[in-house]
Amino acid sequence: MGLAWTVLLVGAVSAVSSGCGSKASTATGGSDGGSGGGEGVGGHSVGPDGGADTGLADAVSDSPEEPPAITCPTTAPVDLSDPAVAAACSRFVYLVGGDNTRIIQSLDEGTTWTTQLFDMVAGDDYINNLAVYLGIINTTTLPGVFQSLDDGTTFTVVGAIPHSNFDTYGGQLNVGTKGLLLTDNQGTYSTLDGVTWTTLTPFPGMPSADGFGGHWSGTASGAGIYVALQDKSAFRTYDGTTFTDGTLPVTTGNGELVAFGNGVFVAVGGGESTTSTDGKTWGNVSTIKSAADGGAAASPATILFDGTRFLGYDGEKVALSTDGKTWTVQSLGTTRIDTAATSEGHFVAAGSIGSTSGVLLSSDGLTWTLSHPFATGETANINGWRVGLGRVLK
């Protein structure tokens, strides 16, 4: 990434200082362009004597403004929430993790892929979870929580989080508006700036209450609320102040996957779905089944929200819903989705098309292309593939 660099943006942009670098907001509108502000730029006005104006005022108003500059930060962590800064200074990273702490990644939206083996230990050393927060790549694996501040080139263990006998099945990363949350069997932690971690005590005085053990399951956040799921439909919810735990009301299996969108959390498991607006009270248990095509059913192994609807993938089928209650199930043909992630219209999955397994990409979650066939040694036999994506600095 090198030295700081500057991008010129067309339009009026004002720089705002942030804790992680420069941040910009675009100024739009004005008396000339507004709906109630007379004629727009380039129109003609009438002079004070009733005749044609000299055009001087028009010349002034029509003259282009000097494009202001955004100085892009060079190191993470960095606030990329401003669209102007994100567009000028960042790029997407696609991440797929498997056995042997192997991360397969792309920094050019799937054109090229590289492999990172950042730690090798005896035992079940595999990638368990992936999350991108403030331009930092985070992952949990057997040796502990690792972070990369240089777009996946190097990874460093987070020393503030104990990782002796770290339970990789339980280490869950959850990105939200109130920071990055980690729940594991050894404890619960959070970071607001991406690098300084704080130990949380969800339920003081209760045995093993700080941790949340069990096998890896889904996480989701929305409206400032974090939800993490574990074995046997257990859930733990955090609103930034208070933790709540309980059990999902699904009846045919374990509810272990969750997504947030359209104002609701939707958890799925065993071919059923259940919804909640606050992550604490769950109801509306529904069978994931089409009503209009002969009753095709699905039992999703992963669930996403794409900004409009929920997508639950069950092998070569996908279940679609806008509310988590009423579903439509349709075939993906010869495409199989094992696990997937989405952000800003980018979809990344581990799966297969026909007999070829690899990393799949999509722009709508329905039509997929093979981007990277898995090579010999690129496996996820122990705990399945893990997928993540997000913005990092250019």
Please report, for the chain, the start and end positions of each structural domain, with discontinuous segments joined by +.
Answer: 5-72, 89-393
Would you state the pLDDT for residue 24? 36
For the record, the structure tokens of 251 come out as 């009846």
3-class secondary structure, 229 = strand
What architecture is the 89-393 domain classified under in CATH?
A: 7 Propeller (2.130)
* Amino acid letter, 36: G
Question: Would you say 52 and 354 are in contact if contact means Cβ atoms under 8 Å apart?
Answer: no
Which residues, at least 6 apart from 194, have a Cβ–Cβ distance to it below 8 Å? Answer: 76, 77, 133, 134, 135, 136, 147, 180
Please give the Cα distance from 224 to 195 (Å, whole number).
20
Please give the Cα distance from 275 to 227 (Å, whole number).
12
| Residue 275: band (very low, low, confident or very high) from pLDDT cuts 50, 70, 90 | very high
Mean pLDDT, the chain, integer: 83
Q: Residue 345 CB: number of other CB atoms within 10 A?
A: 11
Question: Would you say 245 and 228 are in contact if contact means Cβ atoms under 8 Å apart?
Answer: no
25, pLDDT greater than 70: no
pTM of the model: 0.82
Please tell me the number of Cα atoms within 13 Å of 136 on its side-chain side. Answer: 28
C-alpha 346, offset from chain centre? 10
Q: Which of 54-68, 151-165, 194-208, 227-241 has the lowest mean pLDDT?
A: 54-68
3-class secondary structure, 19 = coil
Examine residue 77 and say whether the peptide bond preceding it is cis (omega within 30 degrees of 0).
yes
Please give the Cα distance from 366 to 352 (Å, whole number).
14
Would you state the pLDDT for residue 22? 38
Q: Which of 6-10, 152-156, 257-261, 351-355 has the lowest mean pLDDT?
A: 6-10
